[in-house]
A and B are shown apart, each in its own frame.
Chain A
Amino acid sequence: MINTILLLVVVGLAAGIFGAIFGIGGGMIVTPILTLLMGLDIKYAIGASIISVIATSSGATVAYLKDDMLNLRVAMFLEIATTVGAIVGAILTGVLPSMVLYMLFGLLLLFSAWNMFRKMRAGKETSEAIQADSLSTKLKLNGSYYDNAVDKQIDYQVSNVPGGFAMMLGAGLASGLLGIGSGAFKVIAMDTIMKMPLKPSSATSNLMMGVTAAASATVYFFNGSIRPEIASPLAIGILVGATLGSKIMKHLRARVLRMIFIPILFYIGLQMFLKGFGVTI
């Protein structure tokens, strides 16, 4: 057991670094490792994964807060959607067969990988003029952040708030059902639908993942899905890894982030989809 604990600390460390860089919960990395490589029951993988999500988020938000990349209003407003979705998802778990969930989830991941790829090929990264809609002005969602890579303050507008809100309901639902942070969906909601820049989207998504995960984590905690010997070494590794990852992230350009993110998203998506048919790659 001691060897397993130490191994899981290392797994957590890696998941924390990558999770913070890509704005995903670490749970997406943890669940395939636990189920495919270590042969753990999916139920316990989900329990450990939801803890990983919280650890990634809590470890990283401390660092992001000082960076001012986070948009707290966007986070809090959209959390109304994600927490409701997460609770509904947690209640639905066990009703839907997990095979169906895997397939749906895999398809959505493949879609988001394709979507990001398309966007990258379309070229230009920043500063297309975005028209703020009346709702985002009323809710004071427009913000600004300091971009280290280009060394200047960037103001941005937020559009299509209802679309983003609806996407966040789905993101919360997926989080509650599968014990993931569904950071990819949250980044899509902000970056693709609401047209926020990638860096504040990732930072805001990181904060939201923790709050969303907390909504369903208590269910997993009290129903015994969280095994201490698995979840705790992962949590420790991730807390350290997430802090490192968020420091690394500041010095990367958005295009580099996407180039690393797309193949990972695609691979995990394919894996999830095939798992629905009982095929593992």
Chain B
Amino acid sequence: MAQNKKTSSDEELKRVEEMNQIELIIGQVLRIGVLVSAVVILLGLIMIIVTGKTGYAANLYPTTVNAILSGIVELRPFAIVMLGLFLLILTPVLRVVVSIYAFVKEQDRLYVWITTFVLIILLIGMWIGYSGK
């Protein structure tokens, strides 16, 4: 009986250890996501400060995927800034995605479902935003 108890607490300890590992990896993934978006935004801002131009007429900026993509190809500063802002918007979504992975690893099926459900709601929101134009 006492032996059993010890084994289960050892397993528990190992699991906690593993979860700590996963959380550290998640932290790194998120940090990279945030850094990439920050670098892209900064790049665009520095271009504006250096050249004094936004790449667009006064009070204009790209808001559709096509306009932003073609603006990036032409290296227009505002298009690059908008890409960075969009990447920043995606970082919380990335948070949800990696959390699903964490719960899968933890074999917590209830929370795999709950977190997947949150992701689906977010995707519906994006679809509404995109089609509501």
Contacts and interface: CB of A to CB of B under 8 A. Distances in A.
B106 to A, nearest CB: 10
Contact of A219 (B30, B84, B125): B125
A155 B118 CA distance: 27
B34 A58 contact: yes
Interface in B80-129: 81-82, 84-86, 88-93, 95-96, 99, 102, 108, 110-111, 114-115, 117-118, 121-122, 124-126, 128-129
Given A5-B48, A76-B114, A222-B133, A235 B63 contact: no
Contacts of B33: 58
B85 A215 contact: no
A235 B52 contact: no
Contacts of B38: 235-236, 239
Contact of B26 (A65, A210, A220, A222): A65
B109 to A, nearest CB: 12
Given A61-B30, A218-B89, A2 B118 contact: no
A223 B132 contact: yes
A105 to B, nearest CB: 22
A219 B63 CA distance: 11
Given A5-B45, A80-B121, A218-B125, 15 more contacts: A62-B31, A62-B34, A72-B99, A73-B111, A76-B118, A84-B121, A87-B124, A140-B110, A211-B93, A219-B129, A222-B132, A224-B63, A228-B54, A228-B61, A232-B41
Contacts, number: 158
Interface of B: 23-24, 26-27, 30-31, 33-34, 38, 41-42, 44-45, 48-49, 52, 54, 61, 63-64, 78, 81-82, 84-86, 88-93, 95-96, 99, 102, 108, 110-111, 114-115, 117-118, 121-122, 124-126, 128-130, 132-133
A171 interface: no
Binding site of A, secondary structure by majority: helix, strand, loop or mixed? helix
A139 interface: yes
Given A51-B88, A221-B85, A229-B48, A65 B27 contact: yes
Interface of A: 1-2, 5, 51, 54-55, 57-59, 61-62, 65-66, 72-73, 76-77, 79-80, 83-84, 86-87, 90-91, 139-140, 207, 210-211, 213-224, 226-229, 231-233, 235-236, 239
A213 B23 CA distance: 23
A232 B44 contact: yes
Contacts of B84: 232
Contacts of B111: 73, 76-77, 140
A236 B114 CA distance: 32
A97 B23 CA distance: 43
10 contacts: A54-B89, A54-B92, A58-B30, A83-B122, A87-B128, A140-B110, A214-B91, A224-B61, A227-B61, A231-B85
Contacts of A140: 108, 110-111
Question: Which one of B38, B42, B48, B129 has the highest number of Cβ atoms from chain A below 10 Å of its Cβ?
Answer: B129
A125 B52 CA distance: 53
Given A211-B92, A211-B95, A219 B121 contact: no
Contacts of B125: 83, 86-87, 90, 214-216, 218-219
Instruction: Sort A-B residue pairs by CB-CB distance and give the 5 closest, nearest first.
Output: A210-B92, A218-B129, A219-B129, A228-B81, A214-B92
A205 to B, nearest CB: 13
A112 B130 CA distance: 35
